[in-house]
Amino acid sequence: MAYWRRSSRQMQAATGQVAVAPTSPVTEKPKSRSRMMRQYDLVERVRTYNPDTNEDLLNRAYVYAMKAHGTQTRASGDPYFSHPLEVAAILTNLKLDDATIVAALLHDTIEDTEATRAEIDNIFGHEIGVLVEGLTKLKRLELVSREAKQAENLRKLLLAIADDVRVLLIKLADRLHNMRTLEFVPHASRRRIAEETLDIYAPLAGRMGMQEMREELEDLSFHTLDPEAYAVVMQRLDALADRNRNLIGEIESQLSKKMQKHGITARVYGRRKQPFSIWTKMERKSVGFEQLSDIYGFRVVMPDVESCYAALGVVHTTWPVVPGRFKDYISTPKQNDYRSLHTTVIGPGNQRVELQIRTEEMNQIAEFGIAAHAFYKEGMGSPTERLEHESNAFAWLRHTVGILSESANPEEFLEHTKLELFHDQVFCFTPKGKLIALPRQANVIDFAYAVHTDVGNSAVGCKINGKFAPLSSELQNGDEVEVLTSVAQSAPPSAWESLAVTGKARAAIRRATRTAVRDQYAGLGRRIVDRLFARAKIEYADDKLKGALPRLARASIDDVMASVGRGELKASDVARAMYPDYKEERMVRYGAKKSLAVKLKLKAPPHPARSASVIPVRGINSDLPVKFAPNGGAVPGDRIVGIVTPGEGITIYPIQSPALKDFEEEPERWLDVRWDIDETMPQRFPARILVHNVNEPGSLAQVATVIAEHDGNIDNISMSRRSPDFTELTIDLEVYDLKHLSAIIAQLRAKAVVAKVERVNG
């Protein structure tokens, strides 16, 4: 969200405009000139579109809110009650029902006055009480950051919106009036409010199809965030309007005459794009003002769908069409219910003319979105019930809120909300023809999760328009995408989270990753517990552990095992919870050297009689959270030990690793482990060697060639010059086992350019 970051000097260079004096900070509060709407004025505004309005209800709400706010004032000096009154007035322009207008009048009473929810319910009814409660911010939030507080309040608001869409309409009207009066707010708060509006509320209005409100919120935010750039755009627009004063009327006239000539009734009118929309397009395409060809757009409003396509035929047979500029949003509506035909032609005076052809109903939905639905009509069920059947936009919102509410923390929720709300869309198809709408820049990973979470989790490849492509491929409008899945992949790679664009995909990947990691820790914990019980010769049973869960303060057996695997609980604690008389056998210490010797003896290859108590190691892609010693690794054939690190799993060390001395005083972290290699599926393991190489041309190439010819894989090389004649190479390799590593070392030693080779055990 950095549309305003381009400097005003860059803007002036792009538009050819002279410099504009920078706006000076507000040194004193401007004086408000607002005149408060009277009680009967509000009633009359509602009566114009709803003759059956409950006048008594409106009057009672007016008086109650005015008394509740009492002598409170706004930053402008106006009575505070003027704000909820203006919010109600904005909603009368959208022709909303009585309950919505009343809730708008009362929307700040619970939060800012002595009024209570119970009192609102008692006087105005439960329905209005629910609406007002949904608009009330959470108090006493014990959260560290401002972003966390913002996110928790947004979560509460969105959940209320999902239950009743009228909460959203009131909130948007509330934010619109606050933005209209932002000049009276202290200068330090303006930018924060404007950024929040541009990040969340303007995109939310757009997602709900309320384009006029979105544009006004964007322009008011733009004016606050970059007043100089806003002024430059407005000056250029005004200059262009003076130059083309007659052109707009001429185009409207010619379009109308062409329609009449073909017997088509149409209402034609032109409008110019808003400053913020122009600025973002200049930013996105890196073009100057003069290079923009669609500053003016013309709407052709028709009586029905058939005449829309007839009008399109007239336009396309009269003027040349600009290639690639036709879009049919009637047959394929946008997710916010927007429907229209878009085309661009070279019209009168060789001017590019952008046309939107739609019906009157489509025009209403394009301007007012979900607010265009007849909320105030009686006998049609609740607004939410009607919108479930009438509005794709609201269905999307409820679905999105369900996904977002699963976010693990407030900041994550806020991030996902912005991702879901902001992006424009591309439309792609499954092989069976199902339409999938995604944000721009989305890729196949996002597509897979949009189809189904299980498809995303098991995706291993894809075809786009019949051709194999990477899962990270960015999708374009009209792409047919086939996702290839595998039952062998139960969880997605965690790296996908950084590749995904949609909040749904990111949340699902994060959730699957957490589940997979938890399962790994639970598996490790169960093996540690089994090992201890086998050594102690006591019986383990899930039923017996279930009865001991309260003593371990865990909700389930899996929680216990995962806690043991993470190192949060000891296996001995589990035994003691199940068998209160259990006494842990502690290892006898004989001093540092003898202690290590005793411990190492425990790690010797297991005796068959106690093989069940030894944990098998399959490698990094096993069902256990396993990694290898960071400075040297370990390979099959090495005698190995495992060291448990809380929260990180098991680190595997070769028995000769000097790093094991660091764990001498922590016997509870040592595990018996053994290799469990599937010979039918060879897997590479990490090892490190130190090579003293003769310093001559081609010597490094000879070393690399030996490793490659013997099927070793070089993961990393570092070099240091120890003398003028020799270079020391530290090489991280991937090999199959100890025999493979020894063969590579032997071949390196046979080379004349190699003075010395030794394995490194970190």
What SS3 class is residue 465?
coil
- Asked if 176 contacts 212 with a C-beta cutoff of 8 angstroms, the reply is no
What SS3 class is residue 540?
coil
Query: Which residues, other chains included, contact 748 with Cβ-Cβ below 8 Å and sequence gap of 6+?
Result: 689, 691, 703, 706, 707, 754, 757
| DSSP single-letter state for residue 37 | P
Give the torsion through C-alpha atoms of 76, 78, 81, 86, to 10 deg: -70
What SS3 class is residue 303?
coil
As a whole number of angstroms, the distance between CA 236 and CA 238 comes to 5
As a whole number of angstroms, the distance between CA 285 and CA 499 comes to 23
As a whole number of angstroms, the distance between CA 268 and CA 256 comes to 6
As a whole number of angstroms, the distance between CA 491 and CA 509 comes to 8
| Beta strand segments in 594-753, E | 615-617, 626-628, 640-645, 649-654, 670-671, 673-675, 685-694, 713-721, 726-735
Cα→Cα distances 10→232, 245, 285, 676, Å: 11, 28, 14, 64
Q: Which residues are catalytic?
A: 111-112
Assign 3-class secondary structure to 332-362. CCCCCCCCCEEEEEECHHHCEEEEEEEEHHH
Q: Is 332 left (phi over 0), alpha (psi -120 to 50) or beta?
A: beta
155-188 burial code (b ≥16 CB/10 A, e <16)? bbbbebbbebbbbbbbbbbbbbbbbebbbbbeee
